[in-house]
Amino acid sequence: MKPNDFFRFVGNAELAIMPNSAVLFHETRGLNGDSYGGKDFVASLHDFFSGGQGANPVIGAGRLLSEADIEALLKSLLQRRQSTIQLLPSNVVSLSDNHIAWTIPAGVRPMLFNIAGMPMKKLSVPWPNLLMVANRNGKLAVAALKSNHRPTAKTILYNAPLMNVSLNGAVCTGSASVPGECGIEDLPQWESLMFDTAFSHVNNLRTLGLGKKNKDIDTKAHLKFWQAVAKYQPNAFPNQHLVPLSRGVTQFIQEHSS
């Protein structure tokens, strides 16, 4: 790691970096060597002392740090980073270092299907309004919205009426190339995962509401629905077929943000 990854220097003088202090993290274990619950730890702060002329510095005895000490230390390191200002586009709902959540307006787009035992199909259909969440771990989630208004904590979410989406909204990306980041500039790549790859199977039997209440929708019934939509060519997705999702906007974003 380069020095200026954390610190900003002025001038062109060469720098000598010497250790001053160190924070050590210790896993807590019982006397018999067993862990107390897995991932509990304590931290200690140690000063360095001169080891004499030409000798390496020596780490000294430490003192235990409280939770408040650790939090203050981490905040001080983060504050050293040079902050940047970024204006958020109107479709971005939530943004952090680990995730981005944004909306995509309803519209007529191609929908691809590559179902086992069938030839590849491409249908031109109206997609509903979507709320999507991507995170830095390469995960994508999607839910449907009935309105194109900016979602709030009280907005009702619906199961995305799409294949390859699980009950909680997680998207099965298969072998598709997943973006490595989740910034505003990466949104076109994330959206391409949804709109430019082929659906292959139903992961959520409640993707659509068709006829009987609580009727499970398999891959065959799902494809049949979209073929009928493509045949009649409505201008907008028929929202009466959306099934409510058992999560609010805040919970949905939080669940898929990491």
> What DSSP letter does each residue of 190-249 carry, written as one string?
HHHHHHSS-B---S-TTS---SSTT----HHHHHHHHHHHHHH--SS--GGG--B-SS-H
pLDDT band with cut points at 50, 70 and 90 for residue 30: low
Residue pair 131/153 in contact (Cβ under 8 Å)? The answer is: no
The candidate with the shortest Cα–Cα distance to 162, out of 100, 207, 126, 228, is: 207
Query: What's the DSSP call for residue 38?
Result: S
Residue 106 scores a pLDDT above 90: yes
Q: How far apart are CA 88 and CA 103, in angstroms?
A: 13
* pLDDT score, position 81: 64
Which tens digits make up the pLDDT trace of 225-248?
Answer: 999 999 998 999 999 999 999 999
Higher local confidence (pLDDT), 194 or 81: 194
* pLDDT score, position 75: 81
Residue 1 scores a pLDDT above 50: no
Which tens digits make up the pLDDT trace of 58-100?
Answer: 888 889 988 888 888 888 877 766 667 778 999 999 999 899 9
* pLDDT score, position 107: 97
Residue 3 scores a pLDDT above 60: no
Which tens digits make up the pLDDT trace of 111-144?
Answer: 999 999 999 999 999 999 999 999 999 999 999 9
pLDDT, averaged across the chain = 87
* pLDDT score, position 82: 61
pLDDT band with cut points at 50, 70 and 90 for residue 167: very high
